[in-house]
Amino acid sequence: MKLGKQVARIGLVAGMALTVASAVAFSAPATAATAASAVSSPASVATSSASAGSTGVPSLLSRQARSDAELRDQIALQMKIAPGGKQTSLNEVSYDNGKFVVTYALPGQQVALGVADCPSGWFCFYDNINFGYPRGKLSSCGTQDLATWGWRNRISSVDNSTTNSVEYWADASPFGTRYLFTNYNPGALSSLVYDNEADLVNRNC
Ligand SMILES: [Ca+2]
């Protein structure tokens, strides 16, 4: 099937990407080139993709900022762990001319839990359950590696406002990839069995 081919292809790309993503978790280096040399222990790399406790995602990124200064720190950290982004508003960073946009919660703003708010034409994923920000959104077809934007091992709820289904996969490198779940369209999942496990997304179009 179509999927079999994709899985094989994903496996190759994901294996390389995992090395970079794991390295970023340790020292948040500015570039992928320096990331490779920053990894000192192969054992740490092996465990970094497993559970929520060892994801390496800085906790500052996963919650609402308490002040404007903290929001600025979040934006700076986002751009550091995933170079190439442009800040497009107080709480948003855009990558690749808007193909991926990450939105952080504004400090002081009441967080409306339980409201899936993905705009039409996009599929969204949230760092917290019940659609809690920060939120990432994509619209491109095909397989994409969340490591590109520092979003591996973070997704805790999802919302799909595209016309296609969206699959979430884990990188099981070196053994390829592992299917986790599908976010059918239109639809939302306020919590996930595979919390903080998704590494790759695939919009079926
Ligand atoms: Ca999370």
Q: pLDDT per residue over 128-167, tens digit each?
A: 999 999 999 999 999 999 999 999 999 999 999 999 999 9
More confident position, 47 or 94: 94
Q: How far is the CA of 39 from the centre of ligand 1 (A)?
A: 24
- Cβ neighbors of 204 (< 8 A, separation 6 or more) are 141, 164, 165, 166, 167
pLDDT at 63 over 60: yes
| Protein residues with C-beta less than 5 angstroms from the ion ligand 1 | 127, 154, 156, 196
80-117 in b/e form (b: 16+ CB < 10 A) is ebbeebeeeeebbbbbeeeebbbbbbbbeeeeeeeebe
Return the residue matching tokens 């500052």. Answer: 60
Residue 127 Cα to ligand 1 midpoint, Å, equals 4
Please give the DSSP secondary-structure letter assigned to residue 161: -
pLDDT score, position 157:
98
pLDDT in tens, 138-149: 999 999 999 999
Calculate how far, in angstroms, residue 1's C-alpha sits from the geometric centre of ligand 1. Answer: 32
**Residue 63 CA, ligand 1 centroid: distance in Å:** 9
* Distance from the alpha carbon of residue 198 to the mean position of ligand 1, in angstroms: 10
Whether residue 2 has pLDDT greater than 60: no
Q: In this structure, what are the phi and psi dihedrals at residue 14, rounded to the nearest 5 degrees?
A: -65, -35
Tell how far the Cα of 157 is from the centroid of ligand 1, in angstroms: 8
**pLDDT at 122 > cutoff 50:** yes
Strands, E assignment, 74-121 = 86-89, 92-95, 100-103
pLDDT of residue 20: 41
Residue 17 has pLDDT above 90, yes or no: no
**Cα of 129 from ligand 1 centre, angstroms:** 7
Cα gap 79→69, rounded to integer Å: 16
Nearest to 61 by CA among 111, 133, 109: 133
Ligand 1 geometric centre to CA of 151 (Å)? 9
| Mean model confidence pLDDT for the chain | 80
pLDDT for position 54: 47
**Domains delineated in the chain:** 2-203 (2.60.20.10)
**CA gap 138, 161 in Å, rounded:** 10
Q: pTM of the entire structure?
A: 0.73
Distance in Å, CA 8 to ligand 1 centroid: 27
160 Cα–ligand 1 center, Å: 17
Task: State the distance from the centre of ligand 1 to the C-alpha of 121, rounded, in angstroms.
Answer: 23
Distance 178 CA to ligand 1 centre (A): 19
Residue 58 confidence (pLDDT): 84
